[in-house]
Each structure stands twice: as C-alpha cells, then as structure tokens.
Amino acid sequence: MTRRKMLVGNWKMYKTIAETRSFAEVLGRNLGKLSAEMDFAVCPPFTALQVAKVVLPTQVAVGAQNMHQSKNGAFTGEVAAPMLQEIGVKYVVLGHSERRQMFAETDEAVRDKVEAAQEAGFIPILCVGENDAERNSGETMTVVARQTQIGLEKARPDGDAIVIAYEPVWAIGTGKTPSPKDAEKVIAAIREVVVVALGETEAAKTRILYGGSVKPANIAEFVAEKDIDGALVGGASLDPESFVAMAEAMGQVSGR
Ligand SMILES: O=C[C@H](O)COP(=O)(O)O
C-alpha cells in the first residue's frame, strides 16, 4: 500500500494576515519544488484562515488548528464546523498536546471533535503523544494506544478520512527528538490500534505523521521509515524557505 507523503505546517499562535500573505508570496515563487506526489497543508490561526485559503497556491491546502464539537452554541471563544466549512478548510488538527494540556481537552472531547469534523467533510489530524513523565515511566505505548483508540471510537471506517500525528510532547519545540527507529516503533504500534478501530484495509491507507522538532536537516530520516508518512511541523514551518526545504528533502526520499 502506497500512502502519499504529507507535510503539514502548524503555525500555532503565529502569523498575522500580513505575514500569511508574505509566506504565500515566497511559496508561490518556489512551487516547482513541491512534488506533485505529495500533499501539503498549513494550519494558520483562525484569523488568517480565510486569507490563507485565497492567497496560498492550490497545492497547499489549509487546515484549522482546532474546532468545537458542537455546531453552534454559547461557547465563547470557540469556532464550529459550519464556520470552517465556509472558508473551505480541508484539515482540522485535533487533540494537539497543547490543547490537551493547556485547555484541558479530554480523550472523549477529542473523539467527539473527530466525529464532528468528519461529518463536516474535514479530514481530522488526530494528535497523540506521551509526555516526559509518561515516557520515563515506560508508558509511551499505553498512552498513545489509549489516545488513538478513544480518538477513533466514533470515526468513519475510512483510512482516507483521517490522519494521525504522533507527537511526543517532550520533543515539541525542544530540539529533542526520538530516533527515527523509535518513532517508527511507536507509529507501527499506533497502526495496530488503527487496524482494530478501522479494519486492516483502512489502517493500511491511514497516514500517520511524526511531529516534534522536525526541521529541514532531520525530516528525511523520519519519512524514510516505513510507517512514517510525513511530518506535522511547528516552528520550522513558519519560514517559507524552511517549509520548501522540508518539502524538497521529503521529495528526495525514495523507495516508498
Ligand atoms: O504541531 C506541531 C508540533 O507541536 C511540533 O512543533 P515543533 O515542530 O515546533 O516542535
């Protein structure tokens, strides 16, 4: 089963509308470096989504960084699926560890968001990953299996309708990473959980990304692993030259 490789930039709380325009301009001058065999996306803050959708080249899809599981309601500060549908986003990052840790998102809330996002026609990027304490106490597999299993409980049995991102919390924004072999082991274990949730055929289609301190210099070694289908990148995705460099490095990984 060949899965299209994928590079996703999560801009977190960075970039104004003007900065989004500048990013798109640079990207537009480098389009020849984006392989037609891969999928690309960036996930700007809500305020820049609409502009991103207009100014980014069509090869680069737009994703949101979160959404509420309800279609509307008295949820101050939240954004719902119909609002994102109007903009035309393709992906929604759900259950990012920063949302889980700082905004108290539970596995069950993330599960309901996955269901709502798929109902709205978006492809959720379901994030899972252990924190430092969990890693040190040998709980990595237990934690990612639980987050994946609950996250997929209400998901459609369709491997093309979901993307999973394995992001060890201790690797996010720290410059530290697991070895590609260790990331591969965890991602292969995640795929086994997907087999149980979605069935073997759909699990073989499901793309599972690695995220955490990915940059142009290390991306190729991660995506060269059999089960790692791309990267979810924070810091290094903010600079368009760096985004393009990662796209090029991924494109050069052969034998997939
Ligand atoms: O969503 C992206 C991740 O949190 C990774 O962030 P980072 O590439 O800055 O470590």
- pTM for the model stands at 0.97
Structural tokens at position 213: 């301190």
Determine the Cα–Cα distance for residues 38 and 247; give it in Å rounded to an integer: 9
Q: For 154-182, what is each residue's pLDDT tens digit?
A: 999 999 999 999 999 999 999 999 999 99
Q: Which CATH class is domain 6-252?
A: alpha beta
Q: For 2-51, what is each residue's pLDDT tens digit?
A: 899 999 999 999 999 999 999 999 999 999 999 999 999 999 999 999 99
Domain boundaries, the chain: 6-252
Ligand 1, CB within 6 Å, residue ranges: 10, 96, 167, 172-173, 211-214, 232-236
Could you say which of 98, 130, 167, 225 is catalytic? 167
Determine the Cα–Cα distance for residues 7 and 107; give it in Å rounded to an integer: 25
CA angle 164, 49, 244 (to 5 degrees): 65
- Give the 3-state secondary structure percentages of the chain, helix then strand then coil, rounded to 5: 45, 15, 40
Sign of CA dihedral 206, 210, 211, 215: negative
Residue 169 CA, ligand 1 centroid: distance in Å: 9
